[in-house]
Structure 1
């Protein structure tokens, strides 16, 4: 089952994708999150029976399928990590901690944008980048879950493009914190929320046998398969729940796949290999069965000056 959220004159409206690709409104439902814990299939199937309102996808103003209350972004693709670390040291290799815990950072749920939204260049950013990922969406509350139990807490999946201000990110991370503002402007979600049962026939190894691709202005930049993850999505959910709760709607990003961002290519081939994103560029992501995103980069605001308190010591 595929669910979308479209914009209407009266606000967001959930719809289920029919057998011919048409969007069938789920009456009275504007928010995906309350339906994740058991009611989604029933509500969608009732909508498909009555077909009260039907819209062609081409005529729909598509929004992000949900507004996640939290967004944890992990790092699970070893080949991507192997390229990124060479940005700072050409002889660097993957930190052994990568294979000890599925590390993540908290990103900004307020930065979520839709699959076709314009994306502004962040203030003070020169090295603007994309990151091709897939995210799992939590469907049930859980705490201190085992990996086995965590699999039942994943409701579905969607495509994720984590836009990144690399120069801002690396500057702030020199303080051994972050990333923060480097990831704070836009995270695009694909048009479809796809329920977990839809992907089961493609289960393979650590994940699913799905091809992932990212293009800039129509040119293929990177391609990988989702089952090249070193950590499973249930492992991500279990780790996220350690000592705390995960709740319906929480977003768990896979991290960038191999070849899924410019920074990795800069690490492998040098900073001049490809230019950073600039206003006018169009970034398109696609993942089999899950759909994708198509976002145009636009000029962003100028950074307002911020200085330390005049009496602060600077040694």
Structure 2
């Protein structure tokens, strides 16, 4: 089943998606997630008996408003290319293999599947990142991977828009990413429940979904979700290690390899080929079994430069 949040005539509504369109739900998608998958499927089935609003009449919003967003870096090939581009190094750090790595990103900067995306202030190296995100379906702490798999509610497409020039500066301070990542994150077009994607699970427990991204109609990258270093249940288990994950939390897979972002290609090719995103560029992402997002890059807010730090005084 697919759950969505949409805007029509200035009002946001939750819905279940069918071939006919959007069938309204009496609650938010986040509240539906918190009821658990069985109850959500029952509510969705009841809503499908109601009238449908055609998709072409609405603006799709992010499927839910998550309490938090953790974004992992679970594709080895992506790490290899981006290390060359962002930090000037080579190879995959040995520490990557030891455990999943993630950072917290901004849950207040979410955009819908077809929203315009402004260039972050001061950035000249704007980039996309093709990912899949899992949504946790119930609260839990120090979960085993088996428990975490049972706690997965569903999946959506995630585009972790990145200002690579801002990110490079931040990473040299050995902290971040921060402003290089928090201007925009696309989630959408809807939230597909976990049961819908079980037929795609391979013999090793990974979801084997085709992932593709194009810029202005030209394919830039493609990969398979099964190339992750860890399946989603292990990412959720690690996120809950010694702490809590909550129903509605979003966990990104990290960017896929083979051109899942421009920075990976820049690192491998030693040149900005393809070039950074510019206003007017259209980025389209499709993940098998989930759906397609299509965002247009637009000019961002023109802000004054950031004031540098005052040198430390030597007197006490």
Runs of 4+ displaced beyond 3 Å: 88-91, 308-314
Distance in 1 between residues matched to 2:223 and 2:79, nearest whole Å: 14
Cα RMSD of the aligned pairs, angstroms, is 1.7
Tell me if structure 2 keeps the 8 A contact 1:2–1:194. Answer: yes
SS in 1 for 2:254: coil
Could you say which residue in structure 2 is the equivalent of 1:73?
71
Deviations 1:25-59 (A, max 9, x none): 12x22x2111113231121111113x1x3112222
Taking structure 2 as the reference length, the TM-score comes to 0.93
| Residue correspondence of structure 1 range 276-287 to structure 2 within 5 A | 276-287=276-287
Q: Which residue pairs with 2:223 in the alignment?
A: 224
Task: Quote the residue 1:262 is aligned against.
Answer: 262
CA distance in 2 between counterparts of 1:81 and 1:162 reads: 15
Aligned to 1:117: 115
Listed one character per residue, the Cα deviations across residues 88-125 of structure 1 (whole Å, up to 9, x for unaligned) are 67772111211111000010001111101110000110
Offset at 1:6? 1.0
Cα 1:245/1:185, change in 2 over 3 Å = same
- Return 172-181 or 305-314, whichever deviates more: 305-314
Question: Could you tell me which residue of structure 1 aligns to residue 3 of structure 2?
Answer: 3
User: Does the CA contact (< 8 Å) of 1:206 and 1:230 recur in 2?
Assistant: no
Structure-1 separation of matches of 2:308 and 2:92: 36
1:34 aligns with 2:17: no
1:206·1:231 contact (CA, 8 Å) conserved in 2? no
| Residues 110-149 of structure 1 deviation map (CA, whole Å, 9 limit, x = unaligned) | 1111101110000110100000000000110000111111
Q: Distance in 2 between matches of 1:299 and 1:136?
A: 30
Q: Alpha carbons of 1:171 and 1:209: their partners in 2 closer, same or farther (altered >3 Å)?
A: same
Contact 2:20 2:52 in 1 (8 A): no
- Per-residue deviation, 1:313: 3.8
Number of residues of Structure 1 aligned to a counterpart in Structure 2: 309
1:223-243 Cα offsets, whole Å, 9 max, x none, are 000111111100110111111
Structure 2's unaligned 5+ residue stretches are none
Give the match's secondary structure for 2:108.
helix
Q: Which runs of 5+ in 1 are unaligned?
A: none
- Number of the residue aligned with 1:291: 291
- Determine the structure 1 residue equivalent to 2:192: 194
